Amino acid sequence: SAVISQKPSRDICQRGTSLTIQCQVDSQVTMMFWYRQQPGQSLTLIATANQGSEATYESGFVIDKFPISRPNLTFSTLTVSNMSPEDSSIYLCSVVWGRNQPQHFGDGTRLSIL
């Protein structure tokens, strides 16, 4: 089956720093998304990563805080900028492989900010 790889799997960062998370899939996908899952909570969509153009952000999420890139059909990055302890969460990418196909998730990046 197709593989979704996220890196890093976990990290501990200092407040005020930034971290870039990568999502790589082994075959071309039609859509990629980024979600946040705070400890013990549900998943919240951050943005839709659009190939070759700016991401589409959900209410409460802004590009300056969560810049996203998607340079091609198999790769996307999410940066968490100027981190604070409130950003401690699991960040997950999800992908859709084709028309009328469901979303599948990567393993996530567990981020802790000290």
Partner 1 sequence: GENVEQHPSTLSVQEGDSAVIKCTYSDSASNYFPWYKQELGKRPQLIIDIRSNVGEKKDQRIAVTLNKTAKHFSLHITETQPEDSAVYFCAASSLEGYGGATNKLIFGTGTLLAVQP
> Quick one: which of 23, 108, 109, 111 contacts partner 1 (CB under 8 A)?
108
Q: How far is residue 64 from each of residues 49, 55, 67, measured CA to CA in Å?
A: 15, 12, 6
Which amino acid, residue 5? S
Q: Residue 113 forms beta bridges with which residues? A: 13
**52 counts as binding partner 1 under rule CB under 8 A:** no
**Residue 1 found at the interface with partner 1 (CB under 8 A):** no
Any contact of residue 14 with partner 1 (CB under 8 A)? no
Q: Does 78 bind partner 1 (CB under 8 A)?
A: no
| Residue 96 touches partner 1, criterion: CB under 8 A | yes
The reply to whether 38 sits near partner 1 by the rule CB under 8 A is no
Distances from the Cα of 1 to the Cα of 4, 11, 26, 92, 97, angstroms = 10, 27, 10, 19, 12
CA atoms of 97 and 1, how far apart (whole Å)? 12
How many CB atoms sit inside 10 A of residue 30's CB? 12
- One of 39, 52, 86, 99 touching partner 1 (CB under 8 A): 99
Least distance in Å: CB of 26 to partner 1?
16
Which residues in this chain contact partner 1 in the complex, by CB under 8 A? 30-31, 33, 41-45, 48, 58-59, 92, 94, 96, 98-108
